[in-house]
Amino acid sequence: MTAIICLAKSDGIVIYTDGASLDARNGAYLNPCRKAQIFVHQPMIMAARGPMLATSLLEFACDKYTTFDAAVDAMPKCAYSAVSQAHGATKAEIGLEVFFGGWSARSRSWEAYRTWLLGDTLDKLDEGSLELTRIPFLRFAPDPGPEALEQLGVITNGALHLRSDAEIVNLMEGLRATKFYLGSHDGGTKGCVVGAFVQKTSLTANGAKAEIIHRWPDVIGKPLGVP
């Protein structure tokens, strides 16, 4: 499980992720890891939530495209292929959520999108799987719900307050304190799914940059959030 916050701005794309790989069976912290990818062949950054092999295969599949628009058009196919290969090799869960953004030569603007797939079998995916949704300004996952967001001060009178790094870290702290299902599918064990660090990956006309803006004292081998 991964926390992802994607911002589509007029001057670029910013993706925030946590940095913990965890065991979906019991929530144990396995190792710190980078979850956002900067592509060198096209102006694009991406982060995904799902089995590690599936996310790695997705990055490899997208790396062959030389324009962001081509990657946009191919993303649902690439996501399905990555999940199919991962499931065939390791019986990994059939679940993946992808956030990505970049410079579109087609629209001459910065664009961000989300796509996902989930299902019990590859030939029986949940309704809405593999649809490509444009992110107008902000999208994040997992979503703790409007009441929790209001308690965190992220939403006031229906308005979002997520424009600074400090506000993003505050949201990440709230997600960290919320118990979510450890796997891609609802059901089973719940626990903390956000940990290690908060990584900010940004892409503008001046290039791409990744930096760590917050760290947590999580211990490898223990559940996230447990000292």
- Residue 202 near residue 168, CB atoms below 8 Å: no
C-alpha to C-alpha distance for 58 and 54, rounded to whole angstroms: 6
pLDDT tens track, the chain, 227 positions? 689 999 999 999 999 999 999 888 888 999 999 899 999 889 999 999 988 899 999 999 999 999 999 999 999 999 999 999 999 998 888 999 999 999 999 999 999 999 999 998 999 999 999 999 999 988 888 877 777 777 777 777 666 667 789 989 988 998 898 888 886 666 678 889 999 999 999 999 999 999 999 999 999 999 998 76
Q: What's the pLDDT score for residue 177?
A: 87
Q: What's the pLDDT score for residue 1?
A: 63
Q: Classify burial at 172, counting beta carbons within 10 Å of its beta carbon; exposed 0-12, middle 13-18, buried 19 or more.
A: buried
Q: What is the pTM of this model?
A: 0.92
C-alpha to C-alpha distance for 90 and 12, rounded to whole angstroms: 37
Long-range pairs for 64-70 at CB < 8 Å and ≥24 separation?
65/41, 66/41, 66/42, 67/42, 67/105, 68/42, 68/43, 68/44, 68/102, 68/103, 68/104, 68/105, 68/111, 69/104, 69/105, 69/106, 70/42
Which two tokens mark 102? 């970049």
Q: What's the pLDDT score for residue 52?
A: 87
- Residue 220 near residue 31, CB atoms below 8 Å: yes
Q: What's the pLDDT score for residue 186?
A: 62
Q: What's the pLDDT score for residue 51?
A: 87
Q: What's the pLDDT score for residue 181?
A: 82
